[in-house]
Amino acid sequence: MMTDVAEQSGGPVRPGADQSPVDRGEPVAGVAPPAEDGGPAEARTGTAEPAAAARIVQIRERIDEIDNALISLWHERATLSQEVGATRMASGGTRLVLSREREILERFRVALGADGTQLALLLLRAGRGPL
């Protein structure tokens, strides 16, 4: 059974909400900065090698930027999809257009494989609600 992220967490996901200030690189009173001796930095990156740890931190910063963009686009897409549905129903149309949903499912499946189908199902649900 699939549930919405908001259902699982009790509310909408906000960018950076799942990160502690330490994870975001912000100083926190009483928390020491990462140690060079395999302390907290190694625990966060999985390596004690400084160059590799630095590269991992850099890559993760970009991943976080991408995640924030995806979250923003998710919200925009859901809002637009809801507007399409409301406009269609207000004009006497149907709640769903199954051919459109199949088209979206196929586009994501071709581009991303089986995971794409699952992603498309989540996107469709975010825009139209559960069936």
pLDDT digit string (tens) for the chain, length 131 residues: 444 443 333 344 444 444 555 455 555 454 444 445 546 778 899 999 999 999 999 999 999 999 999 999 999 999 999 999 999 999 999 999 999 999 999 999 999 999 999 999 999 999 998 87
Predicted TM-score (pTM) of the model is 0.66
Question: CATH number of the domain at 47-131, please?
Answer: 1.20.59.10
**Number of Cβ within a 10 Å radius of residue 120:** 21
Handedness of CA 103, 109, 112, 116 (dihedral sign): positive
